Each structure stands twice: as C-alpha cells, then as structure tokens.
C-alpha cells in the first residue's frame, strides 16, 4: 500500500528531514499546554489514546490562569485531570458517545451531542477547535505515526482544520497498517508540538460470553451466509457470535466495522475470516478502533491483513453498501412492539450514544443480499432482583429512538428471530411477542398499544 502525502504544514515542516523536525518539535507537557489559550475549543483523542501528560499540564495551566476551555472528545477516562470535579468551572466537555461520561454528567459540565459516529469530524469542526491534542505511535522509517487504537476519535478533518496540533508520542501504542482514502496516519511534519509519553495504554480484555449470549449468537450465525461481510461490536455477545460463526463452519467471511476486537483476531486465526470476497479493501479486515488487549495489539501490529480507516470512511452507509452480503449486528437496550429501538438511554438519561447503529442498519440493507440484525436479551433483573421485559408495549417516557421502526429488519433474542421488515404493526407485535421472555408474552399480548 503506497504511503499518503502529508497535508498539514506543521511548525517545523521546513526544518529538513523528519528526524530533525521531530527534535525541533520536542517539548515538555507544560510547554505544550502553553499553546492552549483560555477560551479555546480543544479536541482530544479518546480512551487508550488519551494524552494524559498534556491533560495534567493543561489542567494545571487553567487553574493558574482561572481560564476556561471547551473540550471535545468521547470515551473520556474517569481519571482525566481536566474532568476532575475540581475543574468544573474551567472545562465544558462535549461528547458524541458516553462511557464513563455518564458518571461525570451530574457534575454539570458534561454534555452529550446527538451525532452519528461518521459525523465526528463534522461535529468537532463545527465547534471550531483551535487546538487538537492526540496520541500516536512512534514514527516509522518514513516519519509516519499511527493514530493507533482510538485515534479515530479525532478524525483527520479536525486535525487538518486545527491551527495547532499537539502530538503525544507513545512508543507503547501499536503501529497499524493503513493507507489510501481515510487513512489513519499522521506525519511528523504535520505536527506543531511533540510530547513524549510512555504510559501503558489501557487494555480492554474480552468479556466472556454467557449462556444467553450464546443462544442469541446461535440464531445470528444462522443468518450469516458464506462470503458475508460482517460488522459487530464488543462484549460477550460479539465474542459469542465469533465462536458460533467458527463452530458453524462459515467460510470466506469479510470484515468492515467500527470496532476490531479480540473475536476478530480469533476468526482470522481460524481462517473463517479471510476477506477474500470483499469489494472494498479485499484481503484486509477494516475497522476504525482497535479495542482489546495486548494479544490483539500484537497480532494486528504492522499486520498487512488489517487496514485501519477513519470513522467517516468505515461508517458511511454508502461505502458499507459497496460490499455484498453485509450483515450488521448491533445491540439494543429495549424495543417496543412497533419495532422502535432504544440503544442509548435509560428513559431520558443518556447512557451511551447513537454511535454508528443506524449507519450500519442502513448500509447493510442497502448492500446486495445484506441483512441488519438488532440483538438484545429478552429480559433483565433490577437491583432488587425483579425480572423485567426488554420488549415493551411502548418505550418509557423520554427514551431515545436510536433506530426508527421503518429501518428495523431482524431482531434476535435468546428465544429466536423476528423479521419485521414490511410487516404491519400487528404482525410486528406478534413476531416480537414470540421472541419475548415467556413470562411476559401474555402480558404483552394484553397490552397492545392500539
């Protein structure tokens, strides 16, 4: 894969070789933080790519100046200095996906932005961030750094439009293969400041699959044909789906997805996932984020069987649909009897985010012979141990509709699969009641909302 051409002209881009530029750009975290001015909007890379050293130095600078910034990111770690309760008056934080943020929201300075993940760059640029702070791997022999594990959290458009880009170079971040449109590389000559860091990035070990996950995964695997291009996320269900696809003897699967997790590695090792029939990036597993542990990082590091792409590229429904037989698998928190899916809120309280769910639902259905699947457990137990159905007559007041009923195709629980596409509301209700927990089927039938 040919190398891209640098776009930005960083502060030292005229200083000779990239190695000389690197040395000219090196500075302490405190010096880098001085490039942020009170009143700035600042975009920061997320989670395992969180620039901790600059984060701490910037928090200290804001306290000394009594300054205020707007911070743009997602999946912020709970131990970030900038979002400490002590700095509520200094930082306003916006994110288009919540994780630990749901615990920080009561502080009053943390806000959710409803936006598809593919629009992350558009949303960030709409806030006009003057500064972007990202973490990257060490440079390769050509001066290119990988934006690595969570680098897609600050898309390239944001980096190109920012006045100042501060790069935390962390030699413990793996370098992933990338190239072409939507590549995930950043050149030393494009940077305005470099801070060296050695903090080990956070691992996300795979969540073990439970018996319920395996039952749901079995139904999902039956819907995946040989040669399909699959998309699935994280958690026990994704791992169970991977196991079931291997056990079912599926062949020649491909991958284009938001998140590459450990289950992808296992399917590639077993030869189930070889990307041989894909139209886009044939022969390569494509994703925006690598979320797993060191086993995944070591397997994917500089592995040409992968191609990391920016989130606007992976999640564009038009590009998703370029592959045949795309099967998207997404989770839900609850679904009503007409097929409205809530995958992100508990009533009006934001729990996670819209993410890319609707993008993948549409892209899969636009694909030739494609399928979209919404998966959820049929029930849950509250803190008191009482059982509740996740299939409900109507969504609770204030609940967010992540995927509208007009776009929902297959719904899978541990009790089977309901195909809702082009069904009347009565037919949809009957199909969903049939895969609800048996303890609630009679009650759901008595409480049809029409």
Cite the active site residues: 258
* Structure tokens that stand for 54 in this block: 């600059």
Q: How many Å apart are CA 398 and CA 380, to the nearest integer?
A: 20
* Structure tokens that stand for 443 in this block: 């009650």
Q: How many Å apart are CA 158 and CA 311, to the nearest integer?
A: 12
Closest CA to 409 of 444, 358, 447: 358
Residues shown for the chain: 450
Asked if 257 and 152 count as a contact pair (C-beta separation under 8 A), the reply is no
Q: Among all chains, which residue has been given the structure tokens 């010096």?
A: 31
Asked if 350 and 343 count as a contact pair (C-beta separation under 8 A), the reply is no
Asked if 352 and 343 count as a contact pair (C-beta separation under 8 A), the reply is yes
* Structure tokens that stand for 358 in this block: 């609707």
Q: How many Å apart are CA 420 and CA 157, to the nearest integer?
A: 38
Q: How many Å apart are CA 181 and CA 160, to the nearest integer?
A: 14
Asked if 357 and 330 count as a contact pair (C-beta separation under 8 A), the reply is yes
Phi-psi region of 49 (alpha: psi -120 to 50; beta: other; left: phi over 0): alpha
Closest CA to 300 of 176, 136, 146: 176
Q: How many Å apart are CA 211 and CA 438, to the nearest integer?
A: 17
Q: How many Å apart are CA 122 and CA 120, to the nearest integer?
A: 6
* Structure tokens that stand for 271 in this block: 């030869």
* Structure tokens that stand for 392 in this block: 């409900």
**Whole-Å CA distances, 289 to 42, 87, 201, 297, 420:** 21, 29, 14, 11, 31
Asked if 149 and 290 count as a contact pair (C-beta separation under 8 A), the reply is yes
């Amino acid at each position: 894969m040919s190398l891209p051409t640098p776009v930005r002209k960083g502060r030292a881009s005229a200083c000779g070789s990239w190695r000389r530029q690197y040395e000219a750009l090196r500075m302490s975290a405190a010096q880098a933080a001085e490039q942020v001015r009170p009143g700035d909007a600042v975009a920061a890379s997320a989670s395992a790519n969180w620039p901790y050293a600059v984060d701490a130095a910037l928090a200290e600078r804001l306290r000394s100046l009594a300054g205020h910034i707007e911070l743009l990111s997602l999946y912020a770690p709970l131990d970030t200095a900038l979002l400490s309760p002590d700095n509520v008056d200094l930082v306003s934080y916006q994110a288009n996906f919540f994780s630990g943020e749901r615990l920080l929201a009561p502080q009053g300075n943390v806000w959710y932005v409803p936006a598809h993940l593919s629009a992350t760059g558009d949303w960030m640029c709409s806030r006009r961030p003057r500064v972007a702070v990202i973490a990257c791997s060490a440079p390769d022999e050509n001066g290119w750094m990988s934006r690595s594990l969570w680098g897609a959290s600050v898309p390239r458009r944001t980096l190109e439009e920012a006045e100042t880009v501060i790069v935390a170079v962390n030699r413990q971040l793996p370098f992933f293969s990338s190239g072409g449109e939507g590549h995930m590389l950043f050149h030393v000559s494009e940077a305005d400041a470099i801070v060296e860091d050695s903090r080990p990035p956070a691992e996300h070990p795979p969540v073990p699959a439970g018996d319920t996950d395996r039952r749901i995964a079995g139904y999902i695997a039956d819907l995946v044909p040989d040669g399909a291009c699959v998309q699935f996320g994280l958690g026990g269900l994704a791992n169970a789906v991977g196991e079931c696809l291997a056990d079912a003897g599926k062949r020649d699967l491909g991958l284009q997805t938001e998140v590459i997790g450990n289950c992808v590695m296992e399917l590639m090792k077993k030869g189930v996932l070889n990307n041989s029939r894909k139209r886009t990036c044939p022969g390569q597993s494509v994703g925006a984020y690598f979320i797993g542990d060191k086993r995944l990082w070591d397997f994917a590091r500089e592995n040409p069987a992968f191609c990391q792409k920016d989130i606007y590229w992976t999640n564009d429904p038009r590009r998703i649909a370029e592959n045949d037989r795309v099967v998207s698998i997404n989770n839900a928190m609850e679904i009503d009897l007409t097929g409205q899916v809530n995958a992100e809120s508990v009533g009006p309280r934001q729990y996670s985010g819209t993410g890319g769910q609707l993008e993948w639902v549409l892209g899969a259905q636009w694909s030739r012979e494609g399928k979209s699947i919404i998966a959820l457990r049929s029930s849950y137990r509250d803190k008191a141990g009482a059982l509740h159905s996740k299939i409900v007559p109507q969504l609770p007041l204030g609940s967010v509709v992540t995927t509208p009923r007009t776009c929902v195709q297959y719904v899978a629980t541990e009790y089977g699969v309901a195909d809702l596409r082009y069904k009347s509301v009565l037919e949809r209700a009957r199909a969903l009641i049939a895969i609800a927990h048996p303890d609630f089927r009679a009650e759901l039938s008595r409480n049809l909302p029409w």
